[in-house]
């Protein structure tokens, strides 16, 4: 059996969609390839020893600048994975109309084995290596958090960049996912999970799509299973729960739990924080293996952990009617083919988890404009709303309650505008992909339709730049 290649799987999906486009084979080959690959080794003193750290940064495309993509810290990080994730970022940005090209980075370490001080040294050294080779900058390549990294690491990156690029007034735009105090944007932390919710909610609101699967429209009452209770999995589950769906299964690396009556997400999260495990949660049943949760009967399955968790072996046992890929590459091409034959709708990662990069785009714009969202319009909007409400009360002779008045008058905060922009982005992308699918009945699945949309947009960028005749 040949070894699984994540980048090979992305290429396979690309080729599957390319035949539904009209671009010259040379253009398609250029779109598919990774333009720049930087593989590095650098020494860092850890305790009394010197460790040689292996790291990567891949810029998949330069059809737009800057490039954009996260940095992950994990022992599984390798060149194949980083290339695949960089390619997915190109297609993802194109689909959701974010003017970035795709990139990705990673460091092959287990962050749990290092102290915060050692992680800071590794992160800062990695940043300095990127700066030396011009692989980072607000107009060049803008990293973000990914698996194993977060706001803390992004703060170290921006501080290192500022120290090595003094006087660059746009330096805060060199990285996104920063703490709000360091130029971050409110709403970034939950953005990917919220984007997953918005995308799946829009699919659930499409009468024809749901009717084909014998399902009612809307999210309320739907049964949900989520694999992964990290940032993305937690927020995806939380937003579905708040919208009236029932989360009946949760899985983490230590195991899985289920309750057909529903699980309280915050209660499970706190239970894991206190005990170190989601297992033995009151009222829930433990499952023998974490992967068993993937095979629970449910309306929507959301794999929100790592890639390649559903493959040719376990795909025939999956009972969900819709699969929402919150993680990057959780399905292999073999699993895709099985689900297509079975009529199970796979809502693909390459657009569904684009909430992170969409809000990263908003953060980048905030850094370049040097003004907080809502600062200019909040009070103006409130004053307008207050005047209109006063006029309505005067003409109608009826008074609203103070609570109602506060809700009506309320001007947009930064988080309100960020979430509104994300909602618009995910709804528009979902409809565009579905329209492309309906226009060509030969397209076998939603993933292929998403690739068709992405390839056409990237190809058009190259054509408009005059790079190809």
Residue 293 backbone dihedrals phi, psi, to 5 degrees: -65, -30
CB 304 within 8 A of CB 326: yes
Q: Find out whether 270 and 292 touch, Cβ atoms under 8 Å.
A: no
104 catalytic, yes or no? yes
SS3 of 3-67: the string is CCCHHHHHHHHHHHHHCCCCCCHHHHHHHHCCCEEEEEEEEEEECCEEEEEEEEEEECCCCCCCE
Choice among 64, 104, 222, 246 that is catalytic? 104
Please answer whether residues 200 and 225 qualify as being in contact, where contact means their C-beta atoms are separated by less than 8 angstroms: no
Kindly report whether the peptide bond that precedes residue 66 is cis, defined as omega within 30 degrees of 0. Answer: yes
d(Cα 313, Cα 305) in Å, to the nearest integer? 18
CA dist., res. 358 & res. 360, Å (int): 5
User: What is the spatial distance between Cα 204 and Cα 218, in angstroms, rounded to a whole number?
Assistant: 5
- 3-state secondary structure (DSSP) of residue 376: coil
Kindly report the backbone phi and psi dihedral angles of residue 464, in degrees, each rounded to the nearest multiple of 5, phi listed first.
-70, -25
Cα separations in angstroms, 70 against 62, 153, 231, 428: 17, 11, 14, 24
Question: What CA–CA distance (Å, rounded) separates 303 from 154?
Answer: 26
Contact predicate 87/162, CB 8 Å: no
**Whole-angstrom distance, CA of residue 332 vs CA of residue 334:** 5
User: Could you give the residue numbers annotated as active site?
Assistant: 104
């Amino acid at each position: 059996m040949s070894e699984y290649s994540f980048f090979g799987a992305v290429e396979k999906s690309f080729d599957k969609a390319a035949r539904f486009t009209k671009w010259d084979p040379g253009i398609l080959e250029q779109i598919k390839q990774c333009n720049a690959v930087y593989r590095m080794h650098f020494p860092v003193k850890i305790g009394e020893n010197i460790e040689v750290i292996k790291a990567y940064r891949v810029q998949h495309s330069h059809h737009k600048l800057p490039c954009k993509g996260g940095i992950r810290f994990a022992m599984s990080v390798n060149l194949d994975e980083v290339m695949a994730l960089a390619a997915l970022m190109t297609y993802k940005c194109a689909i959701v109309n974010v003017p970035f090209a795709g990139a990705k980075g990673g460091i092959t370490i287990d962050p749990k084995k290092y102290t915060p001080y050692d992680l800071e040294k590794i992160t800062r050294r990695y940043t300095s290596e990127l700066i030396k080779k011009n692989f980072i900058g607000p107009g060049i390549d803008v990293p973000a958090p990914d698996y194993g990294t977060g706001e803390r690491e992004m703060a170290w990156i921006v501080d290192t960049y500022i120290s090595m690029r003094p006087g660059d007034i746009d330096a805060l735009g060199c990285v996104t996912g920063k703490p709000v105090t360091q130029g971050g944007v409110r709403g970034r932390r939950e953005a990917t999970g919220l984007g997953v919710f918005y995308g799946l909610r829009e699919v659930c609101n499409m009468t024809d799509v749901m009717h084909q699967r014998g399902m009612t429209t809307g999210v309320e009452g739907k049964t949900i299973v989520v694999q992964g209770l990290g940032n993305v999995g937690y927020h995806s589950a939380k937003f579905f729960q708040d919208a009236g769906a029932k989360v009946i299964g949760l899985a983490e690396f230590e195991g899985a739990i289920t309750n057909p009556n529903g699980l309280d997400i915050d209660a499970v999260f706190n239970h894991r924080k206190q005990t170190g495990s989601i297992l033995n949660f009151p009222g829930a049943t433990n499952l023998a293996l974490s992967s068993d949760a993937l095979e629970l009967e449910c309306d929507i399955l959301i794999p929100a952990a790592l890639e390649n968790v559903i493959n040719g072996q376990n795909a025939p046992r999956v009972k969900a009617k819709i699969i929402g890929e919150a993680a990057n590459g959780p399905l292999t091409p073999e699993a895709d083919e099985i689900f297509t034959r079975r009529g199970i709708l796979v809502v693909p990662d390459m657009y569904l988890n684009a909430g992170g990069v969409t809000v990263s785009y908003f953060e980048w714009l905030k850094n370049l404009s040097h003004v907080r969202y809502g600062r200019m319009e909040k009070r103006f909007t409130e004053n307008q709303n207050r005047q209109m409400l006063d006029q309505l009360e005067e003409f109608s002779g009826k008074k609203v309650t103070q609570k109602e008045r506060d809700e009506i008058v309320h001007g947009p905060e930064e988080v309100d505008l960020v979430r509104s922009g994300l909602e618009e982005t995910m709804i528009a992308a979902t409809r565009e992909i579905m329209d492309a699918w309906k226009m060509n009945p030969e397209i076998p699945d939603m993933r292929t339709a998403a690739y068709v949309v992405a390839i056409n947009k990237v190809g058009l960028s190259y054509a408009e730049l005059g790079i190809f005749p």
